[in-house]
Amino acid sequence: MDSIIVKGGAELNGEIPIAGAKNACLTLMPATLLTDAPLTLTNAPRLSDIATMTELLRSLGTEVSALQGGRVLTMSSHALGKPRAEYDIVRKMRASILVLGPLLAREGRAEVSLPGGCAIGARPVDLHLQALSALGAELDLRDGYVHATAPNGGLKAGRIAFPVVSVGATENALMAATLARGTTVIENAAREPEIADLARCLKRMGARIEGEGSSTIEIEGVDALDGATHPVVADRIELGTYMLAPAIAGGSVECLGGSIALVEAFCERLDAAGISVEETPRGLKVARRGDRVGAVDVETAPFPGFPTDLQAQMMALLCTADGVSTLHETIFENRFMHAPELTRMGARIDVQGGTARVTGVPRLKGAQVMATDLRASVSLILAGLAAEGETQVNRVYHLDRGYERLEDKLRAVGASVERVRGS
């Protein structure tokens, strides 16, 4: 398996381009299943998860072409085959469940394997199924698959009230409702930028949607959707990750394509820790105000709160903060697996349930560490930037699911980062 070698101590200066959002692109790609006309996505990230979704769509009969080095994806679902998403593909990525709603809406039936993905706690599909059931779907879970049908001529509009906020379930419901008869109302909908981006794309395809970006979304179903061309929104998690690089290592980095609107709650915590974030005509410029950051408390929450996908990276920063910080993880129950690896580098972290107490140390020390999931992988690399000596991050196959050309981007601003290919 590949590993990443990081030599700490270098200040970072320059600019880093921010790719299109992985989580947005993985949601936009299944929208092609709603129409027999072509759907083109620009500013697509070049990641292994995108390749997995491409493989899944092709298995369903979608034609997918990657142009301009993978930056542009052109998809056509004019000749779908059997609407069955097989386990061998779906097990690789939880986002695969997002083909369920579009297939059911257009084909009237779907068989989708229960998904896999990072081991960061339970992420059940019950809310997805609850939403589709509210649209008249008949559902049966057997042999590890969701067997879904839309009787009596297809899905019909309904009221979907989520008991808790779910990004994926909101996305599945939103796509399915575009072709349901009547007007659907989604209450307690997720408000993430990726939801609004999906709605913008669906509107370009002819969907009738109001309220995206709020907790109540209204969708008036249409008979059919058309094709469209849509740019993928900038990746706010990649943005936040690279904003932390100069905060940890020192220096000044401009993140091209970023905006405070995408990461406002995150920027508030950075400001409290002594990190300057300046909006520029091309993005966000980030620099540490002093020699050492201050301790802050962080609590993850659905958007517009602090993103759970930036919690591990923020912990890496706070390991060298002046004082004691507390991180409360409220989204996933098993998302502190990076903490033991950070302690191998000299960090002082006490985890009790969903709370981690971090006592900052003046300097981390390089060590061999192991990545346990996507965001943990990059948190260890960030920690390596601030560590004395060499850090070897093993099992970084997770990394390629969410970060495009990470080594190149960090090296371009002065970091010593190298990938060592495994056998």
Tell me the binding residues for UDP-N-acetyl-alpha-D-glucosamine.
94, 123-127, 309, 331
* Helices of type H across 339-400: 339-343, 374-385
234 with 262: CB under 8 angstroms? yes
User: How far is the C-alpha of 39 from the C-alpha of 214, rounded, in Å?
Assistant: 26
> Any catalytic annotation for residue 319?
no
Tokens linked to 204: 């370009």
157 with 177: CB under 8 angstroms? yes
User: How far is the C-alpha of 321 from the C-alpha of 325, rounded, in Å?
Assistant: 8
Helix (H) or strand (E) holding 130: helix 126-134
Quick one: DSSP state of residue 149? E
For the chain, what percentages of helix, strand and coil (3-state, to nearest 5) are there? 35, 30, 35
Please tell me which residue in 118, 201, 255, 319 is annotated as part of the active site.
Answer: 118
User: How far is the C-alpha of 231 from the C-alpha of 257, rounded, in Å?
Assistant: 13
**Is the alpha carbon torsion for 129, 131, 132, 134 positive or negative?**
positive
Which residues partner with 149 through β-bridges? Answer: 109, 138
* Cis peptide upstream of residue 17 (ω within 30 degrees of 0): no
Tokens linked to 184: 């659907």
User: How far is the C-alpha of 144 from the C-alpha of 132, rounded, in Å?
Assistant: 18
User: How far is the C-alpha of 111 from the C-alpha of 119, rounded, in Å?
Assistant: 24
User: How far is the C-alpha of 240 from the C-alpha of 226, rounded, in Å?
Assistant: 35
User: How far is the C-alpha of 302 from the C-alpha of 304, rounded, in Å?
Assistant: 6
* Helices of type H across 6-115: 22-28, 48-59, 87-90, 100-107
**Binding site membership for phosphoenolpyruvate: which residues?**
22-23
Residues annotated as part of the active site: 118
